[in-house]
Structure 1
Amino acid sequence: MRDYIKKDPWNIIEEGFDPALNRISESIFSIGNGRMGQRANFEEKYSGSSLRGSYVAGVYYPDKTRVGWWKNGYPEYFAKVLNATNWIGIHVNIEGEELDLASAKVTNFKRVLNMQEGLLQRSFVATLPSGKQIEVQSTRFTSIVDCDNAVIRYAVRALNFSGKLSFVPLLDLNVVNQDSNYDEQFWVEISRTAAQCSAAITGETKKTAFHVACAFKLAMEHDGDDVSYTISPFSQDKLVGNTVNFTIEQGQTVSLIKYVAVISSLYADKATIQTTAEASAAAAYSKGYATMLKEQRAAWAKKWAECDITIEGDVAAQQAIRFNILQMNQTYTGEDERLNIGPKGFTGEKYGGVTYWDTEAYCLPFYLKTADPQVARQLLIYRYKHLGRAIENATKLGFKHGAALYPMVTINGEECHNEWEITFEEIHRNGAMSFAIYNYINHTGDVDYLAEYGLEVLIAISRFWRQRVQWSERRKGYVMLGVTGPNEYENNVNNNWYTNLLAQWTLNYTRECLALVKESNPVRYTEIAEKTHLGGHEDELSIWADVAAKIVLPRDNQTGVFIQHDGFMDKELLPMTAIPQGEYPIHKHWSWDRILRSCYIKQADVLQGIYTFEANYDKETLKRNFDFYEPLTVHESSLSPCIHSILASSLGYEELAYKFYLRTARLDLDDYNHDTDDGLHITSMAGTWMAVVEGFGGVRVREGGLQLNPSLPKQWQAYSFRITFRKSLLKITVKPDVICIENESDVGIELAVYGQAHNVLGRQVLRLPR
Structure 2
Amino acid sequence: MVMKYDLGTGDDKNWIVAESSFSKNLLGKAEAIMSLGNGYMGLRSATEEPYVGEVRNLFVAGTFNKSDNLEVSELPNAADVTRMDIRIDGERLDVSSSRTVDYIRALNLKVAELTRSFVWTTSSGKDVALKFRRFVSLDNLHVIGMKMELEALTEAIELSVESGVNAQVSNSGSQHFYEGEKRIYDKKYVEMVTKTVESEIDFMFHTVHHAKVGEIELNQPFMRMDRRIINLTYKCSVTKGQKFSLEKITTVHTSRDQSFAGMILQEMRDQALSTLKACAAEGYDSLLQKHAIAWERKVWSLYKLNIESDNEFDMLAARFALYHLTVMAPAHDERMGIAAKGLSGEGYQGHSFWDTEMFILPFFIYSNPEVARSLLTYRYLGLEGARKKAESNGYEGAMYPWEAAWPSDGEMAQEWGRVDIVTGKQTKIWTGFIEQHITADVAFAVWQYYMVTADQAFMDMYGYEIIFDTARFWASRLEWNDNKQQYCINDVIGPDEYKEHVDNNAFTNYFAHFNMELAMKYYKELKESNPEVFQKLNETLKLDQAITEWHDRIDKIYLPQPSDKDLVVPQDDTYLTKEIIDLTKYKNQSHVNTIFEDYSLEQLSDIQVSKQADLMILFYWLEDKFSKEVKIANYNYYEPKTIHDSSLSLSTHSILANDLNDQPLAYQLFKQACEIDLGPEMKSSDLGMHTASIGGIWQVIVMGFAGMRMMHGELRMNPKLPAHWNKLEFMVNWKGQRLEVVITKDQLLVTAMDRKPVKLEVYGTEYRFDHMLTVCLAEGDN
TM-score between both structures, scaled by the size of structure 1: 0.93
Distance 2:588 2:283 in 1: 55
**Helix, strand or coil for the counterpart of 2:434?**
coil
1:257 pairs, out of 247, 253, 260, with 247
**1:284 partnered with 2:279:** yes
Distance 2:120 2:436 in 1: 54
How many Å apart are 1:185 and its aligned residue?
Answer: 1.9
Distance 1:558 1:765 in 2: 44
How many Å apart are 1:172 and its aligned residue?
Answer: 0.4
Greater CA drift, 573-582 or 357-366: 573-582
**1:334 partnered with 2:331:** yes
Distance 2:334 2:757 in 1: 30
| Residues 356, 580 of structure 1: alpha-carbon distance in 2 compared, 3 angstrom cutoff | closer
Tell me if the contact between 1:12 and 1:114 (Cα under 8 Å) persists in the aligned partners: yes
**Could you give the per-residue CA deviations for residues 451-471 of structure 1, whole angstroms, max 9, x where no partner exists?**
211222222211211111111
Structural mapping, 1:610-689, within 5 Å: 610-670=619-679, 672=681, 674-689=683-698
The AA in structure 2 aligned to 1:46 is P
| Residues 635, 47 of structure 1: alpha-carbon distance in 2 compared, 3 angstrom cutoff | closer
How many Å apart are 1:63 and its aligned residue?
Answer: 4.9
The AA in structure 1 aligned to 2:572 is H
Distance 1:589 1:546 in 2: 47
Report the equivalent of 2:63: 59
**Helix, strand or coil for the counterpart of 1:194?**
strand
Structural mapping, 1:511-590, within 5 Å: 511-535=520-544, 539-555=545-561, 556-574=563-581, 576-577=583-584, 585-590=594-599
Tell me if the contact between 1:228 and 1:247 (Cα under 8 Å) persists in the aligned partners: no
**Helix, strand or coil for the counterpart of 1:207?**
coil
Report the equivalent of 2:767: 758
1:298 pairs, out of 262, 272, 293, with 293
The AA in structure 2 aligned to 1:418 is Q
The AA in structure 2 aligned to 1:235 is M
Distance 2:362 2:85 in 1: 43
1:145 pairs, out of 114, 135, 139, with 139
**Helix, strand or coil for the counterpart of 2:677?**
coil
Report the equivalent of 1:393: 389
Structural mapping, 1:159-238, within 5 Å: 159-178=153-172, 183-195=173-185, 196-221=187-212, 223=214, 226=216, 229-238=219-228
**Helix, strand or coil for the counterpart of 2:61?**
strand
How many Å apart are 1:341 and its aligned residue?
Answer: 0.4
**Helix, strand or coil for the counterpart of 1:410?**
coil
Tell me if the contact between 1:311 and 1:719 (Cα under 8 Å) persists in the aligned partners: yes
How many Å apart are 1:270 and its aligned residue?
Answer: 5.3
Report the equivalent of 1:106: 100
Tell me if the contact between 1:574 and 1:632 (Cα under 8 Å) persists in the aligned partners: no
Tell me if the contact between 2:336 and 2:406 (Cα under 8 Å) persists in the aligned partners: no
| Residues 745, 290 of structure 1: alpha-carbon distance in 2 compared, 3 angstrom cutoff | farther
How many Å apart are 1:754 and its aligned residue?
Answer: 2.4
**1:129 partnered with 2:123:** yes
| Residues 746, 305 of structure 1: alpha-carbon distance in 2 compared, 3 angstrom cutoff | farther
**Helix, strand or coil for the counterpart of 1:111?**
strand
Tell me if the contact between 1:201 and 1:274 (Cα under 8 Å) persists in the aligned partners: no
**Helix, strand or coil for the counterpart of 1:668?**
helix
1:157 pairs, out of 148, 151, 156, with 151
Tell me if the contact between 2:211 and 2:218 (Cα under 8 Å) persists in the aligned partners: no
Report the equivalent of 1:353: 350
How many Å apart are 1:552 and its aligned residue?
Answer: 1.0
Distance 1:89 1:270 in 2: 31
Tell me if the contact between 1:163 and 1:248 (Cα under 8 Å) persists in the aligned partners: yes
Tell me if the contact between 1:5 and 1:670 (Cα under 8 Å) persists in the aligned partners: no
**Helix, strand or coil for the counterpart of 2:75?**
strand
How many Å apart are 1:36 and its aligned residue?
Answer: 0.5
**Helix, strand or coil for the counterpart of 1:352?**
helix
Tell me if the contact between 2:317 and 2:678 (Cα under 8 Å) persists in the aligned partners: yes
**Could you give the per-residue CA deviations for residues 643-696 of structure 1, whole angstroms, max 9, x where no partner exists?**
111111111110111111111112111155943112110122101110110000
What fraction of aligned residue pairs are identical, expressed as a percent? 28
Tell me if the contact between 2:22 and 2:103 (Cα under 8 Å) persists in the aligned partners: yes
**Could you give the per-residue CA deviations for residues 28-84 of structure 1, whole angstroms, max 9, x where no partner exists?**
1101000001111112x323321111111111222568xxxxxxxxxx642221211
**1:768 partnered with 2:764:** no
**1:93 partnered with 2:87:** yes
| Residues 48, 101 of structure 1: alpha-carbon distance in 2 compared, 3 angstrom cutoff | farther
**Helix, strand or coil for the counterpart of 1:82?**
coil
**Helix, strand or coil for the counterpart of 2:722?**
coil
How many Å apart are 1:193 and its aligned residue?
Answer: 0.7
Greater CA drift, 246-255 or 660-669: 246-255
Greater CA drift, 436-445 or 719-728: 719-728
Distance 2:315 2:62 in 1: 32
Report the equivalent of 2:423: none
Tell me if the contact between 2:330 and 2:336 (Cα under 8 Å) persists in the aligned partners: no
Greater CA drift, 513-522 or 231-240: 231-240
Greater CA drift, 584-593 or 258-267: 584-593
How many Å apart are 1:26 and its aligned residue?
Answer: 0.9
| Residues 171, 745 of structure 1: alpha-carbon distance in 2 compared, 3 angstrom cutoff | farther
Tell me if the contact between 1:748 and 1:760 (Cα under 8 Å) persists in the aligned partners: yes
Report the equivalent of 2:419: none
Distance 1:219 1:125 in 2: 23
Distance 2:338 2:41 in 1: 12
Distance 1:769 1:611 in 2: 23
Report the equivalent of 1:505: 514
Distance 1:575 1:616 in 2: 31
| Residues 760, 168 of structure 1: alpha-carbon distance in 2 compared, 3 angstrom cutoff | farther
The AA in structure 2 aligned to 1:488 is E
Structure 2 stretches of 5 or more lacking a match? Answer: 9-13, 416-428
| Residues 344, 163 of structure 1: alpha-carbon distance in 2 compared, 3 angstrom cutoff | same
How many Å apart are 1:411 and its aligned residue?
Answer: 0.5
**1:15 partnered with 2:20:** yes
Report the equivalent of 2:728: 719
**Helix, strand or coil for the counterpart of 2:25?**
helix
Greater CA drift, 339-348 or 92-101: 92-101
Structure 1 stretches of 5 or more lacking a match? Answer: 66-75
Tell me if the contact between 2:223 and 2:231 (Cα under 8 Å) persists in the aligned partners: yes
How many Å apart are 1:509 and its aligned residue?
Answer: 0.4
Structural mapping, 1:434-513, within 5 Å: 434-513=443-522
Tell me if the contact between 1:728 and 1:749 (Cα under 8 Å) persists in the aligned partners: no
| Residues 471, 602 of structure 1: alpha-carbon distance in 2 compared, 3 angstrom cutoff | same
| Residues 177, 504 of structure 1: alpha-carbon distance in 2 compared, 3 angstrom cutoff | same
| Residues 578, 266 of structure 1: alpha-carbon distance in 2 compared, 3 angstrom cutoff | closer
Report the equivalent of 2:51: 47
**Could you give the per-residue CA deviations for residues 377-400 of structure 1, whole angstroms, max 9, x where no partner exists?**
111111111212111111111224
Tell me if the contact between 1:211 and 1:270 (Cα under 8 Å) persists in the aligned partners: no
The AA in structure 2 aligned to 1:307 is Y
**Helix, strand or coil for the counterpart of 2:276?**
helix
Distance 1:673 1:235 in 2: 37
Distance 2:105 2:248 in 1: 19
Tell me if the contact between 2:2 and 2:20 (Cα under 8 Å) persists in the aligned partners: no
Greater CA drift, 276-285 or 117-126: 276-285
| Residues 364, 110 of structure 1: alpha-carbon distance in 2 compared, 3 angstrom cutoff | same
Greater CA drift, 34-43 or 225-234: 225-234
Distance 2:382 2:216 in 1: 59
Report the equivalent of 1:310: 306
How many Å apart are 1:525 and its aligned residue?
Answer: 0.9
